[in-house]
Amino acid sequence: MVAKRVIPCLDVYEGNTVKGVNFLNLRVMGDPVEMGRAYSLQGADELVYLDISATNEGRGTFLSLVRRVAETLNIPFTVGGGISTPDDAARLLDSGADKISLNSAALRTPGLIDKVAGRYGSQFVVVAVDAKLSAERWSVMCNGGKVSTDRELFEWAKEAVSRGAGEILFTSMNNDGTKSGFAVEALDKLSRLLSVPVIASGGAGAKEHFRDLFLNTNADAALAASVFHEGTIPVPELKQYLDRCGVPVRIIES
């Protein structure tokens, strides 16, 4: 049985891991290379780095960071944020990222998925989908979840896969930040609908939420940030718990 993946997510602003609200009032949490190395040693299966820098200088710093991460990590890491052209993706992959994550730019220009997948292969392309449930419809959001679009979660995810996405990272905007659990029902439907792995994001607040996700859906991975960064749920403790619950996970022997 394929092991389920646990993935910490690091927001990076001009070289530092940060935490804030809607990218405002950012607090520095630590060095992303050191934090990434620590998560790797703790048994995280992959890492996601999101560039939230707003300047060209910040982008250059982020590229340098990607090179440093590539030299030190021994687990895959996905990089997203600010990718709007195939050349943007190329610079990150050529700098050592294992995968890139597309979001708003793919919504604006769906052909971007085809171009990046055509150049590098679907296994390098993650399409992130932020969606909000309202009146029984999951509307896809863009611009960091601030702007609603006319796209619907399931049809957009299917189109993204048909264009070459190798994975779908779905964040429920209803659950995000609530620490009340993942959107299990939607994730179950999505993971059964698609032929590629689904990563769940939004709502993790307790070990039981990860258990419920993996035992009640076909989701392949769970992504979270604050519960890991703040030490609320240490990765090794989570992995041991999931193993006891019958969820197949990769555990590093001490």
pLDDT, tens digit, for every residue of 1-12?
799 999 999 988
Choosing from 45, 51, 98, 130, the catalytic residue is 130
Q: For residue 124, what is the DSSP state? A: G
Has 130 been annotated as catalytic? yes
Q: Would you say residue 83 lies in a domain? A: yes
What does pTM read for this prediction?
0.94
- Single out the residue of 109, 108, 149 nearest to residue 131, CA to CA: 149
Say if 24 falls within a structural domain: yes
Model pLDDT for residues 126-148, shown as the tens digit of each residue: 999 999 999 999 999 988 778 88
- Cα 194 → chain centroid: 17
Model confidence at 22: pLDDT above 70: no
| Strand 24-30 versus strand 16-21 pairing type | antiparallel
- Helices and strands of the chain, counted as H and E runs: 10, 12
Instruction: Indicate whether 39 belongs to any domain.
Output: yes
Please state the rounded mean pLDDT for residues 161-185.
94
Mean pLDDT of 215-222: 98
- Residue 20's pLDDT is 63
The pLDDT assigned to 61 comes to: 80
Does residue 254 form part of some domain? no
The single residue of 11, 45, 51, 220 carrying the catalytic annotation is 11
Give the lowest-confidence range in 26-35, 74-83, 93-102, 159-168. Answer: 26-35
Per-residue pLDDT at 254: 60
Query: Could you tell me how many residues make up the chain?
Result: 254
Q: Among this protein's residues, is 220 annotated catalytic?
A: no
Give the ranges where the chain is alpha helix by DSSP (H). 32-42, 56-72, 86-94, 104-108, 111-120, 153-163, 184-193, 207-216, 226-229, 235-244
Give the domain CATH number at 95.
3.20.20.70
Residue type, 22: N
Q: Is the pLDDT of residue 95 over 60?
A: yes
Q: At 26, is the pLDDT very low, low, confident or very high (cuts 50, 70, 90)? A: confident
Q: Judge whether 165 lies within some domain.
A: yes
Continuous segment of H or E residues that includes residue 19: strand 16-21
> Domain range spanning residue 53?
5-244
State the total domains in the chain.
Answer: 1
